[in-house]
Chain A
Amino acid sequence: MTLQEAPTIELTGVSRRLPSGGRMLTFVDRVDLTVGRGESLAVLGPSGSGKSTLLALMAGLDRPDEGEVRIDGEEIQRLSEDRLARLRRDKIGFVFQSFQLLSNLTARENVLLPLELVRSRDAGGRADELLAAVGLGERGHHYPSQLSGGEQQRVALARAFGPRPPILLADEPTGNLDSATGARVLDLLSELRRAEGTTLVVVTHDPAVAARADRRVHLLDGRVERIESGAAAAAAEGG
C-alpha cells in the first residue's frame, strides 16, 4: 500500500510514566508504531494496558517521557500548548466514549464550534449537512441533555468530521451504547471516513469495532504485544 509508505502518525520508542497510588507506573513502554495515511488502526488491550494514554500521546494531549511522536513528519512533543492546540484544530478530530458534547451548546452549535474555529467559509451549511448525514437534521436545536446516548454520539461524529481533519482519534466510541446503537454509529463512522479519506485510530474493547480496522494493535502492560492485519478488516470493510 502506497499510503502506508507515507506515515501520518509515527511513534518511535515512546514511553509515558504517571504517578499512581503514590508511585510511578509505566503506562506506555517503548512503543514503536506508525499509522499510514488513510489507514484505520484499532488499539486493543485489557483495562490499564495503556490504550488511552497512547491515544492521548498521538493527539498531543499528553507528552511522552521518552521517544518521539510525529504527526505528518512534525515532531510534536516539544510544541507549546498553543501550537499543539492549533495542530489539533487543523488536523485531528475526536470521538469519545462519554461523547463530551458541551452541555450549554445545542447539537448544531456543538458541530459548528470547530468549524467556526478554523473559519470555515460555509460553517452553517457544513454543520447542517453533517447533522443530516448522521440522521439528526431535525434535532439541531436540541441540547445534549435532550438527546439519547446514540444521538449524542452521532452529534459528536458530526462535530469530529466537520473541519475535515486528516486524522480521527476515537476512544471507545461505542463503549456507552447498546450494540444496535453502537453498530449504527460505527456504520456512520465508516461512511464519513470513506468519504473524506480520514486516517482513523480507534481504541476499543469491542471486537465488532476492531474487526472493521485495517490493522489491530494489541497492547499489554504498555507494550505492543502483537499487530494483526488483513482479512477480518477487509471482510468487515467490504461487508
Chain B
Amino acid sequence: MSPRLYARSLWREMRGARGKMLFFTLCLAVGVAAVVSVAGLSAALDAGIRGEARQLLAADLAVSGRRPLPADLDDRLAALGADARVDVVEMVTVVAAPPAADGTPGPSLLVEVKAVGEAVGEASGGYPFYGELNLEPPRRLGELLDETTVVAAPALLTRLGLGVGDRLRVGGEDFTVAGRVLAEPDDVGVGFTLGPRLFLSRAGLERAALIQRGSRVEYRALVRMPEDTPAAVLADGVEELRGALTPGWRVESWREAQPALRQGVARVDRFLALVALLSLLAGGIGVAQTVRAWLAGRLDAIAVLKCIGWTPREVTTLFVGQTALLGLAGSLVGIAAGIAVQLAIPALFPDLVPRRLIDPFQPLAMLRGLVLGLGVALLFSLPPLATVRRVPPARVLRRDAQPLPLARWAYAATGLALVGGLVAMAALQARSLPLGLGFAAGVAVATLLLAAMARVLVAGVGRLPALAVMTPRRGRRGGRGRVWWRHGLSALARPGAGTLAAVVALGLGTLVVLAMALVQRHLTDELAADLPDDAPSAFLADVQPDQWEEVQRVLAEGGAEDVRSVPVVMARVAALDGETADDLAEERGVGGPRSDDPDADDGTRRWALTREQRLTYLDELPRGNEIVAGALWSDPEVAEVSVEEEFARELGVGLGSTIDFDVQGVPLRVVVTSLRRVDWGTFGINFFLVVEPGVLEAAPQQRLATVRLPRGGEQAMQDALTARFPNVVMIQIREILEKIVGILERISLAIRLLGGFTVLAGLAILAGAVAAAAAQRGREVALLKTLGFTRFQVAAAFAVEYAAVGLVAGAIGAVGGGLLAWLVVSGEMEIGWRWYPAAFAAALFGMALLATAAGLAASWRALARRPVEVLRRV
C-alpha cells in the first residue's frame, strides 16, 4: 500500500468516528494530565518543603565533629558541587557580667557559644543559608559582630541583668553586647541544651582564647548546594562524604535533620510515585476499553476491507497508525491539561505551593508525558488490536463466521510486548527498575486473577438452566420479574459479551482507585496524628533533682499543663560484649563493618560508639514506643537496657548483648533485653537507651522536662524560672513546632488534592469505558424491544448484567486494592494499617453502581428510540 493511500485511509477512518475518537483522546489525556501535573506539582512541593525544611538546618548539608574541620573538606565539597560554605564553631563556656563598682564579681552563666565564620562561595549571604536569623537591631549578623562585640539571647541578658550596649566578659576579655538574637533557624536542639546562646565572630572567639586543649568544641561546616540539586543527588553526596571522611565526622542533610519531617517527605515521595503509576494505569485501562469498544463497531468494516483485498497486515497497520495518532492527540491534550492544572493550583490553593515554585513548562516532564501517553495508547491497545488480525473476511457473508486463528508466536509476542512495555513505563515513571518490575508483576497477577474470576462467573452463569421463555409473560408479575433477571445474567455468558474484558478493566480500575484512596487516607490521618494537641511548647533542661519539686510548683503557678519529665544520666560506651569501645572504633574505622547489616554505614556506627550517650530510667515506656523484640524488664538477674532498634543497629548490639557504660567514672554493665521502635513524630522526649529502674537512681543526673504553656506565657515563665533557678534552661519550641506543623499540613493538603484528582479521574475513565461498550448495544436493545420487552425490562436486564460485572470486579479489585495499599502503607511508608470498612464497601457497591449507571446512561438513547429506527439501519 502506498504511503499516500495509507495516509488517506487513516484520515477517512478517523473522520468516521469522532465521538469515539474524542473519548479515547480524553481517557488518555486524563492519564497524561495526571502524570504531567503530578510530576510538576511534586517537584514544586518538594522545592517548597525543601525550602522550609532546610531552614531547620540552615543549610543543605552539614558536616560536624569534635576536631577542626579537615583541610580537604573544601575539595570534597567542590566535588559534590556545593556552591557555598560557612564554618561555625560551637562550644560551652561561662560568661560573666562585669564586676560591680566595689569589685565584687558579676553574676556568671553557662552559655552556648556559636562563632560564625566568613562564608566562602559564590553569591552567599553568609550564615544562615536558609531561614532567618532574627536579630535586634534588625541587621545582618556580620554587621553586628566584630572582634569586640557579641550578640546574645534575651535569656542570657535577663539573667545577668544586662542590656544592649553593656559589657560582657567572655574568657577573661571584655566584649560589648551589640544586639539580641530572638530566633535562630537552626536552633532545633530539641533535647539537651546547656545554656542560652551567645554569638561571637571568629576573631572574637580567638581573642577570647576560649579554645584550649581539652575544650569540648564542635566544629561544623554548613554547606549550600545549587538550587536545583535533586534529592537523590544530595543523598548520594551525603553517603559519599560519610564514606570519604575519617572517623568521627558526622554528615547530615536537611532531609535527615528533623525526624518528623524526614518521615513526611519520604512518604510523600513514595505517594507521588504511586499516584503517577496508578494514574497511568487508569488511563491505560480507559484506552484499552475504548479501543475494544471502537473496534467492536468496526468489525464489519474490517471484514469488508479484507474482502476487497486489504491484507491483514495492511488493515492492522491502519488501525495501529490510527491508535498512534490518537495517542499523540491524547498526550498533547493531556500535557496541555496538566499545565493548566499546575497553573490553577496556586490560584485555588494559595497555601499549598507558592506560585514562584511552579514551573509548568518543563520540557522534560512534557516529553515524559508524551512518551508515556503514546506508550500507554499503543501498549494497552495491543490486545484489542490483535483482534483486527483475527477478523474473518467471511464475516461479510455470515456474521457468525469463525475468527481466524492467531499464530502462537503472535500471542507470545503480544504478551511479551505488554509485560515488557509495562515494566519499561512503570520504571520510567517511578524512576526505579525494581519498582517498575514489582508494579508490572502486581498488575499481571491482578489481571490473571480477574480473568480467572470472570471465567468462573461466565461458567457459573452458563450452568443456569436454559431460559425457558425469552419473551416476557404479560400480566403475570412473577414471570415478568424473572425474565429480565435471567436475561441479564445469561447475557454475561453469551458469546461476544465481553464479560472478561469488562471484569478485568473494572477490577483493575477498582484496584487503582481504592488503593489510591486508602493510601491517601492513611497518609493524611497519619500526618494529622503527627500533630498532637498535647505537643509540648517548651523544654526544660539542666534541672537538678533537688530542684524538681520547686520547679514543678513554679510551672503549675504559670499555668503549665502536661508536665512530663525524665531523669537524664550522661554516660559513654566503654565496651560492647566485652570488647572495648576504643578497639571497636578502630576496627570500624579501618576494617569492614562488624555486622553484615548494610544499612548501618561505618561513619554512623563509629559515631554511635564514641559520642556521649544520654541514658534514662523508666518504669514504663512513653507514648510512641513499641517493643519489637524481647520484653521490657523481663530478667530479674541482670541490669537491663532497652535500645531503640535503629540505634541498636548502628551500635552493633542485639538482644542479649552486654553494654559496659562509663557513668561519669563509675562502670555499669547492662544487658539488652528489648528493642524498641520509636515514633519520633510525637515530639515527646525519647531516648535511644532506657535502663530499668533501680540501677541509675544514685548516679549524678539532671532532669529533662517538656511542658505545655499557655500561649504568650512563655517569656513570663522563662523569667520566673531564671529568677529562682539560674541554672535551669528553658527552650521555647512552639515556634519550631508550628513551623513543622505548617509544613505537614501543606503536605497533607497536597496529598488529598492529588489523591482526590486521581480517584476522580479513574472513576471518570471507568464510567466512560463502560459507556463506550454499552453504546455498541443499540441493536440488542431494539431486538429485545421488538420481542416485546418493555423499556423497563430491557433496562433491568442490562442493569442486572452490569451490576454483576461491577460486583465481581469490585470484589476482586477491592481485595487487590487493599493488598496494594497495605503493602505501600505498612511496607513502604511504615504507617500502622487501619481498616476503613466504608472505603471497601464503597469500592464493592460503588463499582456495581457505577457500572450500572454508566451502562444504562449509554443505552439511554437506544432505549428511547423506536426499535425500527435501529433495525432499519442494516
Contact = CB atoms under 8 A, between A and B. Distances in A.
Interface in B290-312: 300-301, 303-312
A103 B310 contact: no
A117 B404 contact: no
B312 A82 contact: yes
Nearest to B874: A98
Interface string A120-159: 0000000000000000000000000100010000000001
A209 B9 CA distance: 35
A170 to B, nearest CB: 11
Interface stretch (B193-201, B394-402, B766-774, B803-811): B394-402
B308 A103 contact: no
A92 B396 CA distance: 14
A113 B397 contact: no
Interface string A154-168: 000001000000000
B104 interface: no
B394 A61 contact: yes
Interface stretch (A5-13, A29-37, A83-91, A227-235): A83-91
Contact of B311 (A81, A94, A109): A81
A55 B397 contact: yes
Interface SS of chain B: helix, strand, loop or mixed? helix
A171 to B, nearest CB: 6
A61 B396 contact: yes
A110 to B, nearest CB: 9
A117 B401 contact: no
Contacts, number: 93
Given A52-B398, A61-B397, A116-B5, A104 B12 contact: yes
B874 A94 contact: no
Contact of A176 (B311, B392, B874): B874
Contacts of B300: 100
Interface residues of B, number: 35
B309 A90 contact: yes
Interface string A61-97: 1100000000000000000011001101110101010
B17 A100 contact: no
Contacts of B393: 59, 61, 85, 88
A89 B309 contact: yes
A128 B638 CA distance: 105
Contacts of B303: 100
Contacts of A119: 2
A227 B434 CA distance: 72
A117 B310 contact: yes
A25 interface: no
Interface string A176-216: 10000000000000000000000000000000000000000
- B1, B306, B307: residue with the most chain A Cβ atoms closer than 10 Å: B307
A96 B301 CA distance: 13
Interface in B392-433: 392-394, 396-398, 401-402, 404
B402 A18 contact: yes
Given A104-B13, A116-B8, A171-B397, A99 B308 contact: no
A109 B9 CA distance: 10
B12 A105 contact: yes
- B12, B15, B16, B313: residue with the most chain A Cβ atoms closer than 10 Å: B12
A56 B13 CA distance: 26
B474 interface: no
Contacts of A94: 307-308, 396
Interface in B816-874: 873-874
Nearest to B404: A81
A61 B311 contact: no
Contacts of A96: 396-397
Given A81-B404, A116-B5, A176-B874, A56 B308 contact: no
A114 interface: yes
A176 B393 CA distance: 21
Contact of B309 (A88, A102, A105, A149): A88
Contact of A100 (B5, B310, B396): B396
Nearest to A103: B16
Contacts of B394: 56, 61-62
A6 to B, nearest CB: 24
A218 to B, nearest CB: 19
A92 B308 CA distance: 8
Nearest to B18: A104
A53 to B, nearest CB: 8
Interface of B: 1-2, 5, 8-9, 12-13, 15-17, 300-301, 303-314, 392-394, 396-398, 401-402, 404, 873-874
15 contacts: A61-B307, A85-B309, A89-B308, A89-B309, A89-B310, A96-B396, A102-B305, A104-B16, A114-B309, A116-B8, A117-B1, A117-B309, A118-B309, A119-B2, A171-B397
Interface of A: 18-19, 52-53, 55-56, 59, 61-62, 81-82, 85-86, 88-90, 92, 94, 96, 98-100, 102-105, 109, 113-114, 116-119, 145, 149, 159, 171, 176
Given A56-B394, A89-B308, 5 more contacts: A61-B392, A100-B300, A104-B15, A113-B308, A117-B309
